[in-house]
Structure 1
Amino acid sequence: MGRYESGIKWFRKRDYIGTEVEFQDPPSRWRIEEKICEHEIPEINTYHDPPSERAKQAKSEDEDGAAVREVMALRHLTDKECSCTPALISWKVTQQQGDRASVPGGFIYHILMEKLPGVDIEVNFYRLDRSQRDEIREKFKESWLEVTKCGIINEDSAIRNLLWDRDGKKCYILDFEVWRKARMDTKSKRKRRDSWHNMEYVRWNLAIRRGGDFEDMSTWVL
């Protein structure tokens, strides 16, 4: 999930914390106890606009937005029993928001997924010793290959979308709002088959290439 840090709060605690969300398939009820982060919904430059203006940003629940793409990817990966991504448990779309909401006439998506073990490594990765960083890179490669074998390429490639479980020796890949189908077998001259390349470490912020050789990791910051 992309982290949004504008300082503006669209989702006020008094409106959501303590509320319950009920899912039908499978039947369950969950209580919202904490807001971790929020997306830029609606557009930041409309914060001071009247609700009637922000309502113009409302979209149909059937449109291919970030939440829909996330659900599609997680559902596919769950069906494939992918071990390095969160399993999708359920999801739902609530009724349209009221006139006083951030986007009147819009929808709220609730996605219920597996809570995975591990910690965010975005801030502290390069403070770890080299052996730990090497281990994370090794396990990330294993996870990237597994997700690709399941038919998905996560194009939001950033270390913020990784979760490291040191005890379980597992690097989890999260946040599939931006993805595409993996090209596993193609004869196209324009589109090559998706396969591993060490530059994935750079794309996911697990290595830094400062003018070094694309093929020679010894010239990179690891």
Structure 2
Amino acid sequence: MAAPEEAVPIFLDKHVNFPNGRIYELLQPLTNYRSCHDGTPQEARIVFLCKETEPQPLQDDFVMKIKVQLPWEGQTPQEGPSTTTAAEIKALEAFRDAKAVFAPQLVAFHQTVQDNRGPLPGGFLTFTVMTKMPGQSLFGKYWNMTQQEQDDIKSRATEALRSIYALGIEPVDRGLRNVIWHSETKQCSIIDFELWNPINGTFADEKNELQRWGLLRTPVAKDHWTAWNQMHR
């Protein structure tokens, strides 16, 4: 579901000009504008569906993630990008170079500074354009699906995750919200790589990995410490 139009920050223009001559038009927000606390410096983000209009209009829609530095606890304007943006760009580049079909690929990146309309004039404003994965997030849907559909998703998700691990990337932000399923083609994709660990190998316990993504039910833990270990081990 798209975010409401009033969620669009006033400091964003409808058309974003990139130094290489590309121009992307913001179509609709896919998330609300909100602060995020995983990276540094402190920032906020919003995600849009967009399309390229110059140098020639393209039929394909893309996803644009916009990050903006916030005036948090007296921090001064910085060029950026944030640590999470830098990490995601590196992952998206790896997927692009591998021609991956199970995760977004980097299309374009642009970095500038906020003008006087922004929350921290002179602070960074970054635009990351990536391919749009087919299908919908499984958040709020997966556990209402048939057993056959769930089995298909678990099988394809395992294939996607093993392919991602094979590129040396272990996703950290696990959850059904970041699992995209296209029922017609039975394609499963993983999104959101702001947080990931470099890895040499893959997961040994398929059941545990699926549980961490919310694709398989986890037995009720006997205490809070055990529950924490089940999620983070």
SS of residue in 2 equivalent to 1:177: coil
Q: Residue 102 of structure 1: CA displacement?
A: 1.5
1:34 aligned partner, one-letter code: Q
- Is 1:16 the equivalent of 2:16? no
1:197 aligned partner, one-letter code: E
1:112 aligned partner, one-letter code: V
Q: TM-score, normalised by structure 1?
A: 0.73
Q: TM-score, normalised by structure 2?
A: 0.70
SS of residue in 2 equivalent to 1:40: strand
Which residue in the other structure is 1:147 paired with?
164
- Is 1:98 the equivalent of 2:86? no
- Is 1:208 the equivalent of 2:204? no
1:39-69 per-residue CA deviation (whole Å, 9 max, x = no partner) reads 416679xxxxxxx965833553345521111
- Is 1:179 the equivalent of 2:196? yes
- Is 1:167 the equivalent of 2:161? no
Q: CA RMSD in A?
A: 2.9
Q: Residue 34 of structure 1: CA displacement?
A: 1.5
Structure scoring higher RCO (CA < 8 A, sep ≥ 6) equals 1
- Is 1:112 the equivalent of 2:129? yes
Paired residues, number:
187
The answer as to whether partners of 1:97 and 1:106 remain within 8 angstroms in 2 is yes
The answer as to whether partners of 1:158 and 1:203 remain within 8 angstroms in 2 is yes
1:169 aligned partner, one-letter code: K
1:131-161 per-residue CA deviation (whole Å, 9 max, x = no partner) reads 1011111100000001111111111111111
Structure 1 residues 59 and 199: CA distance shift in structure 2, 3 A: farther
Structure 1 residues 54 and 98: CA distance shift in structure 2, 3 A: farther
The answer as to whether partners of 1:120 and 1:163 remain within 8 angstroms in 2 is yes
Structure with a larger share of its residues in strand: 2
CA distance in structure 2 between the partners assigned to 1:196 and 1:24 by the alignment: 45
1:167-218 per-residue CA deviation (whole Å, 9 max, x = no partner) reads 121110000000011223xxxxxxxx64453111111011121248xxxxxx
The answer as to whether partners of 2:91 and 2:169 remain within 8 angstroms in 1 is yes
1:210 aligned partner, one-letter code: P
- Is 1:67 the equivalent of 2:67? no
Q: Which runs of 5+ in 1 are unaligned?
A: 45-51, 185-192, 213-222
- Is 1:86 the equivalent of 2:104? yes
Structure 1 residues 174 and 129: CA distance shift in structure 2, 3 A: same
